[in-house]
Amino acid sequence: MRNSWILMALAASIAAGACATSSNTNLVNAETKLRVAEANPAVSAHAAVPLHEAQESVAAARTSFEQGDSDVQVDHLSYLAARRVEIAEAIAERNAAQEDVKQLSKERTGVVLDARTQEAEIAREDASIAREDTAIAERQAEVSALTAAALAAELSALKAKETERGIVLTLGDVLFDVDRSELKPAALHDLNRLAALLASEPRRAVLIEGHTDSTGPAGHNDELSRQRADAVASVLTRNGISPSRITTRGFGSSSPLATNATTAGRQENRRVEIVVLDATIPSVSDRTP
């Protein structure tokens, strides 16, 4: 069985190497690591959830590459993906060792053997588990630190602001035609970057809020603000972000940032705010202002 797994892993590595010339080297490395982990039955049996998270992370890196994102972005996502694969493998090894400890304990109670030998074996397994736990914690801390640094840098490039509600990215009225909800091409660049960032942060949710100035009927303003929020959400979902992570709301003219008595103030009030939250939100979209 072990030889079979090794042959499967070797085949996965050779296959990945064959396409390296048409891909990103770090991405190929992450995909190769994932194939090796998937070919190992112990990983599926003892670390199914971490393996799934690693698969999502590798898929996000592949999507970023295929969308033509920068090498820096693809390299970063690929590195995080590779580390998550390593974490899945380490957790599988740790969990398998824990099962060995349980089995040894059962055997000790059911069979009269040398107690000191049993205790020594269990102690060695416990020590191995402790080392694996330490290694896993270190890897997870490294991934968390890298993710936090990348998130801060990317959001800074998008001119997002840290607020009490979360991280807020504002799309101004100039990114929409007058009284229309279709986004102009200029908005897509930032939204594509935001989607890539959210793909690498699967536990974060997004609240998208549309706002208008006070000109025009209130009902029309409410509908327009909802449509603009929905237009932004559509771009994110087309880039692979699950709708369950997105909530859209239309506030019409009820939450102005500036006075509606001036042209400049009205333009500032016509906006869409994208709030990046720290945790996931319910899957049912909340469309009530």
Statement to judge: residues 150 and 170 lie in one domain: no
Same-domain status, 124 and 216: no
In a domain, 287, yes or no: no
Tell whether 29 and 120 lie within a shared domain.
yes
Question: Considering the domain boundaries, does residue 285 fall inside one?
Answer: no
Task: Yes or no: say if 182 and 232 are a contact pair by the CB < 8 Å rule.
Answer: no
Same domain, 151 and 164: no
- What number is the average pLDDT over the span 40-45? 89
Q: Are 194 and 158 in contact (CB under 8 A)?
A: yes
Residues 175 and 136 in one domain: no
Last residue of a domain, one of 155, 183, 215: 155
Same domain, 140 and 64: yes
Note whether residue 98 is domain-resident: yes
Whether residue 114 is found in the same domain as residue 203:
no
Higher-pLDDT residue of 252, 103? 252
For residue 288, is it within any domain?
A: no
Domain count, the chain: 2
Domain containing 143: what range?
2-155
- Looking at residues 135-142, what average pLDDT do you find? 72
Instruction: Quote the pLDDT of residue 151.
Output: 59
Q: Are residues 120 and 70 in the same domain?
A: yes
Do the domain assignments include residue 283?
Answer: no
Domain boundary among 87, 121, 155: 155
For residue 284, name the pLDDT band (cuts at 50, 70, 90): very low
Q: Note whether 166 and 143 are same-domain residues.
A: no
Return the percentage of the chain with pLDDT > 90, whole number.
25
Percentage helix, strand, coil, to 5, in the chain?
A: 65, 10, 25
Residues 145 and 186 in one domain: no
Report which listed range, 65-79, 88-102, 223-237, is most confident: 223-237
Residue 140 inside a domain? The answer is yes
* pLDDT for residue 99: 81
Q: How far apart are CA 95 and CA 161, in angstroms?
A: 41
Q: Is the model's pLDDT at 3 over the cut of 60? A: no
Last residue of a domain, one of 98, 129, 155: 155
For residue 58, tell me if it sits in a domain. Answer: yes
**250, 223 contact by CB (below 8 A):** yes
Q: Say what the pLDDT of residue 76 is.
A: 84
Q: Which two tokens stand for residue 121?
A: 């074996």
pLDDT tens column, 197-221: 888 788 889 999 999 999 889 999 9
Domain membership of residue 284 (yes or no) is no
Task: Give the confidence band of 285 by pLDDT, cuts at 50, 70, 90.
Answer: very low
Predicted local confidence at residue 206, as pLDDT = 92
